[in-house]
Amino acid sequence: MLDKLLPLLQLCDSNFPSGAFSHSFGFETYIYNEKINNEKTFREALCAYIRTQLTYIDGLACRLTYDFLQKQSKDDVSRLNEMLAALCLARETREGTRMIGERMWKLCREIYSFEIWNDDKEKRDYIHPAIVFAIVCDHLEIPKDITVLSYLYTSVQALVQNAVRGIPLGQTDGQRLLVFVQPYLIEAVQTIDALTEEDLGAVTPGLEIAQMQHEQLSVRLFMS
């Protein structure tokens, strides 16, 4: 297990240049409207985000990809990728995940060699970061539940760092939040494990509206 830990730490490191720090995925709209304005309101929103968006979209997409890879079903991965692109109705959030996904994909293909993926010459115009993360972890032989949990953690970590800058919060508050959310992330992995493809993408209308409204915000720290 020791040999698996280091690549996983590298992938989840906040210095890993995925570009996630440029995106708030709708949180900035709530900060702008002062619905999120301190540690308490951010913590509640973060927990809601874990229960909804992270569970039914990102986390489930990561787990499904891992399952498809175990079955060597590349077509299912492509189909899932197409669904994820179609699912995100807010343009900036869709472009944000596209940019993060592409950067991760490009970088990971430089540092690792995925046998079944390297032969793919076809121009890919979208790859969701959850899919990239699962492909890398599958390649590194990291177990499924740890893959999903790590992916959720990296997503939450980026949001917390953005909140520290955006609200702003203290660095210690940020680290305290990352301890606070741990049981919620583990619970989310268990929930995700019991879901099926039919559950994928169950969106929350309020967050989606915030992601859409972000396009019209007059002052913006983040690209989404």
Q: Which of 8, 85, 140, 178 binds another protein (CB under 8 A)?
A: 85
Q: Which of 20, 32, 49, 155 binds another protein (CB under 8 A)?
A: 49
Q: Does 53 bind another protein (CB under 8 A)?
A: yes
- Among 19, 72, 56, CA closest to 207: 56
Q: Does 52 bind another protein (CB under 8 A)?
A: yes
Q: Does 162 bind another protein (CB under 8 A)?
A: no
Pair 125, 99: CB distance under 8 Å: no
Q: Does 217 bind another protein (CB under 8 A)?
A: no
Q: Does 211 bind another protein (CB under 8 A)?
A: yes
- CA distances, 80 to each of 51, 61, 76, 147, 179 (Å): 21, 8, 6, 18, 32
- CA distances, 192 to each of 60, 95, 144 (Å): 6, 25, 11
Q: Angle at Cα 14 formed by Cα 8 and Cα 16, nearest 5°?
A: 70
> Smaller CB distance to another protein: residue 35 or 74?
35
Pair 189, 155: CB distance under 8 Å: no
> Smaller CB distance to another protein: residue 46 or 142?
46
The site for another protein (CB under 8 A) is made up of: 30, 35, 44-45, 48-49, 51-53, 56, 82-83, 85-87, 89-92, 94, 199-213, 215-216
